Amino acid sequence: MGPKRARDEDARETRLRRRVVAPAASVDPTVFASTIGSGKDVRVAYQGVPGAYSEGAALAAYEDCTTVPKSQFDDVYAATEAKEVDRAVLPFENSLGGSIHRNYDLILSHKLHVVGEVYYRVNHCLLALPGQKIEDLKRAQSHPQALAQCEGYLTNLHMVREAVDDTAGAAKAIAENGTKGVAAVASARAAELYGLEVYDSGIQDDKSNVTRFLALSREPIPPTETTQPFKTSIAVSLKEEPGALFKALACFSLRNINMTKIESRPLRTNPVTSAGANQSMQFTYLFYIDLEANMADENMRNAIRHLQETATFLRVLGSYPRDCSSLTGGNSCNS
């Protein structure tokens, strides 16, 4: 199908006005402020303890908010749905470790909507009780991923690595127990909160360590026309037929809508099916797709309507402002 046919399809679909799943979308900051308040009136849940990188991302997304720590990702979703907090800020992918699959699975099982994103640079520091020498530190405690990201540095110091639940939790335990000779790999904020000394900073082997966080809300906010660059995230499963994914992506490419991410996950509710002439077993997949588009745009809405023709499941997870800031600081979410 060429561009002309795509335009004809759009005209037809516009007349029909088929119903599309309503997305969450971000709005002007003044509307946001009037919706949930501002500053410390905004309560934002994150996973971890104070000083965690997730808390830093929450503060980058919602400056001066009141952060609410939760022990597990599931607890963050539950607290947001129960109106204990106004927003959730959760990690969805890391430049070194890849996607956080647990959160991709959880977003489909909860009725929350993506309303913002923030790219947060991870800067690992070596923390310990004050008054020691760096050569006195024989063990390093942190989250397994953080230890792996600092493996070269810790090896050069001949430090034994010990995995714990989270980065800031390691710092907190060392401070509370008064443990000498043991360091935590965590943030500088964790050192400040728990009275530890920063013996070294930027100790990760790869300096390009960035985590993408998404802000989630209970209520979908109607899309608003704006000149600000937007992203739209969707989840879709397709009919089992040749070229199904090609046809799905053509809905966007024919309308000059750029895709920034695609990832497949086995569909949890029906993971295995029989297909083909010999009825061989295969996985049924769900695709997570990010697009540079705003659901307020007719072009994007027509693309979604077109996609519905080949989709067996479709959910718009959210339409929200892109984080266009530099990685030295986070871009505040606007909803």
* Residue 331: φ, ψ to 5°: -100, 120
Report the 10 Å Cβ neighbour count for 74: 14
Sign of the CA dihedral with 27 first, then 30, 36, and 38 last: positive
Kindly state the helix (H) or strand (E) to which residue 124 belongs, with its residue range.
none
Length of the chain: 335
Tokens of 83: 């109106």
In degrees, rounded to 5, the angle at the alpha carbon of residue 201 between the alpha carbons of residues 198 and 207 is 160
Cα 230–chain centre separation: 15
> Rg of the Cα trace of the chain?
23
Q: List helix spans (H) across the chain.
A: 3-16, 29-36, 53-61, 73-81, 101-109, 144-149, 151-156, 167-177, 188-194, 244-253, 298-308
Question: Which of the residues 213, 230, 252, 287 is marked catalytic?
Answer: 213
Q: CA–CA separation, 20 vs 298, rounded Å? A: 12
Contact 304, 10 (CB under 8 A): no
For the question of residue 211 being annotated catalytic, the response is yes
Report the 10 Å Cβ neighbour count for 202: 12
Residues with Cβ within 8 Å of 28's Cβ and at least 6 positions away in sequence, in order, are 224, 226, 334
Question: Which of the residues 211, 232, 284, 310 is marked catalytic?
Answer: 211
* Residue 305: φ, ψ to 5°: -60, -40
For the question of residue 92 being annotated catalytic, the response is no
Active site residues: 211, 213
